[in-house]
């Protein structure tokens, strides 16, 4: 049985879909459905059952699960809000809970894949190379909580037996419940439908034009295919970047959304809120040598093709809304 934490969330539910497509339904969903619409992400998925994260942790610690029950642990559950200010909440969800999952997996020699984040790289002063994950300087507490766990894995020598995935800007179906943390692709589609134009942040530093800020965007379908390869190939070990290796402008995103909708572009620039200043990444681009030189190497879709698939086959088609 493959256990997936955060399995009703964005990436988690898409990965459950990938597992189903590969013929696996012996899956334990570990998540708290709470009061949002993430339950929709599980509709049509095939799995054995659902457990609350705290119940799963307790059963693991009490010896109710071992390698005869759990054959792989995919740990994607976390607080993913980059604007969350409650440091203790982030520590409990992203650091301490992750420690418990790693200790269980390592004690029973169970394959362990977990979600880190490109937010650990901060402003990119030290680059975006996954060759070293020690001493990075995240810009927010979310990134720091992920950095703390990465370093804990390394210090304890667990990184050589596990795979930590530094996700860059993932977008795609099943992110609908994420509110402010949903991708700009999803928000842009909603803006065009509601008001006919897309609003992007104006730049407040001279190196970047308005809408010229750059990120490494990766389609969730590509991300899940890579995770499937990692699960089967068990490579590359350690902490690994998962982007495309191609930084693209926010303007490229906006133009691609308009093109997918068959509409003329109308982009308007708004001032960045004070709450984001000093915590905003103007540029990210994953160094992809570690992944692409491994048996989990992947050919990624171009941004325009990914956005077209998302908009046309999911956002516009309500029958395919939940991947």
Residues involved in catalysis: 142, 178
Structural Rg of the chain based on CA atoms:
19
H-helix or E-strand spanning residue 199? strand 198-201
Helix, strand and coil percent figures for the chain, each rounded to 5: 40, 15, 45
Q: What is the pLDDT of residue 281?
A: 85
Q: What is the pLDDT of residues 168-202, one digit of tens each?
A: 999 999 999 999 999 999 999 999 999 999 999 99
Asked if 65 and 118 touch (Cβ cutoff 8 Å), the reply is no
Q: Confidence class of residue 239 from pLDDT cuts 50, 70 and 90? A: very high
Instruction: Dump pLDDT digits (tens) for 71-106.
Output: 999 999 999 888 898 999 999 999 999 999 999 999
Asked if the peptide bond before residue 236 counts as cis, ω within 30 degrees of 0, the response is yes
Mean of per-residue pLDDT scores for the chain: 96
Residues 3-28 have pLDDT tens digits of 999 999 999 999 999 999 999 999 99
- Tell me the C-alpha distance between 312 and 261, whole Å: 8
pLDDT (0 to 100) of residue 276: 79
Nearest to 163 by CA among 238, 102, 75: 238
Q: Residue 321 — very low, low, confident or very high, per pLDDT cuts 50/70/90?
A: confident
Residue 32: the pLDDT is 94
Buried/exposed code over 64-103 (b: 16+ C-beta within 10 A; e: otherwise):
ebeeeebebbbbbbbbbbbebeeeeebbebbbebbebbbe
Say which DSSP state 287 is in.
Answer: -
Residue 229 CA, distance from chain mean position: 16
* Residue 273 pLDDT grade (very low, low, confident, very high; cuts 50, 70, 90): confident
Which domains, ranges and CATH numbers included, belong to the chain? 2-171+217-245+284-301 (3.40.50.720)
pLDDT at 243 > cutoff 80: yes
Return the pLDDT at 219: 98
Per-residue confidence (pLDDT) for residue 242, from 0 to 100: 98
Q: What's the confidence (pLDDT) of residue 291?
A: 98
The predicted model scores a pTM of 0.95
């Amino acid at each position: 049985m493959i256990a997936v934490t955060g399995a009703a969330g964005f990436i988690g539910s898409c990965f459950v879909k990938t597992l189903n497509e590969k013929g696996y339904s012996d899956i334990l969903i570990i998540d708290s459905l709470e009061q949002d619409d993430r339950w929709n992400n599980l509709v049509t998925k095939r799995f054995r059952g659902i457990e609350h994260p705290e119940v799963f942790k307790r059963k693991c610690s009490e010896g109710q699960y071992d390698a005869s029950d759990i054959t792989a642990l995919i740990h994607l559950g976390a607080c993913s809000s980059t604007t969350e200010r409650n440091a203790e909440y982030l520590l409990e969800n992203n650091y301490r809970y992750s420690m418990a999952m790693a200790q269980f997996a390592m004690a029973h020699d169970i394959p362990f894949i977990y979600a880190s984040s490109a937010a650990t790289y901060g402003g990119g002063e030290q680059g975006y190379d996954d060759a070293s994950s020690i001493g990075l300087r995240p810009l927010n507490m979310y990134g720091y909580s992920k950095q703390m766990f990465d370093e804990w894995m390394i210090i304890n020598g667990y990184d050589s037996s596990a795979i930590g995935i530094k996700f860059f800007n993932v977008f795609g179906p099943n992110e609908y419940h994420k509110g402010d943390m949903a991708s700009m692709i999803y928000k842009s589609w909603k803006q065009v439908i509601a008001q006919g134009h897309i609003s992007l942040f104006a730049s407040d530093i001279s190196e970047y034009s308005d809408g010229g800020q750059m990120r490494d965007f990766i389609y969730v379908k590509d991300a899940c295919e890579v995770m499937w390869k990692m699960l089967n190939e068990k490579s590359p070990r350690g902490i690994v970047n998962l982007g495309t290796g191609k930084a693209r402008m926010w303007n490229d995103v906006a133009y691609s959304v308009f093109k997918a909708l068959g509409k003329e572009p109308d982009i308007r620039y708004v001032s960045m809120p004070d709450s984001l200043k000093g915590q905003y990444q103007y540029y990210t681009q994953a160094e992809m040598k570690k992944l692409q030189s491994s048996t989990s190497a992947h050919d990624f879709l171009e941004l325009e093709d990914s956005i077209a698939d998302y908009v046309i086959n999911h956002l516009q088609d309500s029958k395919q809304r939940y991947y």
